[in-house]
Chains A and B, each alone.
Chain A
Amino acid sequence: MSLLIDDEIYERVSRLDIPFNRYGLDPYGISRDHLGFFFTSLGWFYRNYFNVTAIGLEHIPKREGAFIIGNHSGGIPVDAGMVLTSLVLDLDPPRLGHAMVEKFANKLPFLSQYYSRFGQFTGIPEHAKRFLREGRLVVAFPEGVRGIGKLYSERYQLTRFGTGFMRIALEAGVPVVPFAFVGGEEAYPVISRLEGIGKLVGAPFIPVPRHIVPVPVPISCQIIYGEPMYFEGDGSEADEVIFGYVAQVKAKVASLIEEGRELRRELFSGDIVLDEDDV
């Protein structure tokens, strides 16, 4: 195991604000060693494979809880892993984000076991509320599964945002930190969704990329965090109010996406790796 854990990353994991016991486990079963391995692997993707640039990390609260909300990008959710990695590798002090995992993952062997040790739990309101009340960071994608299977022709268009996150943020009294993830759509451009085969393995569908092999190609990605957004209320507001708040967050995420795409155009000086005609 130790060969698979980078010392520098392990040191950062050890600095996380988490009460590990003498087995290196916290009350949720999150394991220091497992995190070391997790972020060593993700760190390689973050630094070498996707060459991720995270901008605006100063908007992440240093100690308090926050709901980190953004867009899904690409056919398989590398976005969540990269966001979590940015919080450990590029944030000081490092913080552990808890992503709200799609329910089917916990039914699958190994995924169920390892996600728990990595601190990634089923996306149910009880978990989000508990982590936020304890001052932890919760990462969620309000587009949900709707956002994962976007076809390449629909790239960077936000699908409907769920509203659950807003009520939870209000109830817990925490800000929403919006972010945009860009690059995932080029790294895994979806041309088709296979629903039948997906059902067989318990997933909603299998997204088929343009390059057929279901792994993302190594293309530079960017994460742009926006300023924390504070909203008035306690979570018991009427739907219209909540819809209004969610629309503000969605608009903010959309504008961060534009910022990100602009940044990409500058980085590649107009040379976007994939063109509409290629698909």
Chain B
Amino acid sequence: MKVLITGISGKLGRLVALSLIERGHKILGVDRRPWPGSPDGVEMYNADIRKRPAEDVFRTQRPDAVIHMATVSHFESHAEERYRINLKGTQAVFDNCHKYSVERCIFVGRHTYYGAAPDSPLYHTEDDPPEAISTFPELADLVAADLYAGSALWRYPELKTTVLRMCYTLGPSHHGTLAQFLRGERVPTVLGFDPLYQFLHEKDAASAVTAALCEGSPGVFNVSGPQPVPLSVLIQVTGRANWRIPEPLFNSMLGRFGLPRLPPGAINHVKFPVVVDSEPFQKDTGFQYSYDEVRAMEAFANM
């Protein structure tokens, strides 16, 4: 199978590409960033997914399947840029999939779609609404991209679309939203709150995406692995210092004293958990994680 991967130069993109090559697939990589030393079996195209050169890859190479993971978070880009990449980029990818008769498309989204609020349930099912729009307004572009990707299920029924709402990833690469949050020696938490955090080892995350493509059905699926752990345990096991900040001071402390910079809406995600139920995905694909929560944290801490 010829698989086009957008955002291939990211950590997860590379891992997915490697695991698909191992299974004997041919990979086309589209990214604005280079992948120095990309392995044989990967054809790299230095292009922006919203631009003509990316469409040319669809037209000339005719991929059978597309894995779309060229999305960015608030750690990497400003609001306007996020809308351009996350929403407009997703639109361009699905338009191209339709135009060039791609058979299968996997959109790799995020579990933070569900948002975190005092009355939101633990273990979200796929039916739960995207509360992130109100609890964490800076995630609206990702929520929109997720819903837009999901709409391909009825707009382009011949394109078998899968939307993955994947929990955080952790691993030796230190890439990803959670890794960015834990990057410094000090991690800010809100005094009196200790939410559960759910994450997968990055290798497991890559094999989940591979499983979705090779074994999975179209639809919307939560993806998670081992059981979640409280933020305080995560901070302790990864060898960070837990800075418990009273809520009124939280936002003004961010970006100082070596604490990460977070958008104002992030506070809800530091107070309350976002935890998903991924049983349907496991049943559909047979996906099993191989790193439990302890090994995933250690893999991150020991680098």
Contact = CB atoms under 8 A, between A and B. Distances in A.
Contacts of B229: 23, 25, 29
Interface in A89-136: 103, 106-113, 116-117, 121-122, 124, 126-127, 130
A113 to B, nearest CB: 4
Nearest to B128: A126
Given A23-B229, A27-B227, A112 B271 contact: yes
Nearest to B124: A126
A112 B192 contact: yes
Interface string B194-215: 1110000000000000000000
Contact of A27 (B192, B228, B247): B228
Nearest to B123: A130
Nearest to B192: A109
Interface stretch (B9-17, B114-122, B259-267): B114-122
A22 B297 CA distance: 13
Nearest to B118: A106
A53 interface: no
Interface in B148-206: 190-196
A200 B286 CA distance: 51
A38 to B, nearest CB: 15
Contacts of B196: 28-29, 116
A6 interface: no
Contact of B190 (A103, A109, A117, A130): A109
B232 to A, nearest CB: 9
B192 A25 contact: no
Nearest to A109: B192
B280 interface: no
Contacts of B141: none
A236 interface: no
A21 B122 contact: no
A26 interface: yes
B119 A122 contact: yes
Nearest to A110: B192
Given A21-B293, A25-B229, A27-B228, A127 B121 contact: yes
Given A109-B192, A112-B192, A124 B121 contact: yes
B118 A23 contact: no
A113 B227 contact: no
A107 B118 contact: yes
Contacts of A22: 294
Contact of A122 (B118, B194, B227, B293): B118
Given A22-B294, A23-B233, A112 B118 contact: yes
Nearest to A108: B192
B189 to A, nearest CB: 10
Nearest to B196: A29
B230 interface: yes
Contacts of A127: 121-122
Nearest to A123: B119
Contact of A109 (B119, B123, B247): B247
A28 B277 CA distance: 11
16 contacts: A21-B227, A21-B292, A21-B294, A25-B229, A28-B122, A28-B196, A29-B122, A103-B118, A106-B118, A107-B118, A108-B192, A109-B193, A117-B230, A122-B119, A127-B121, A130-B123
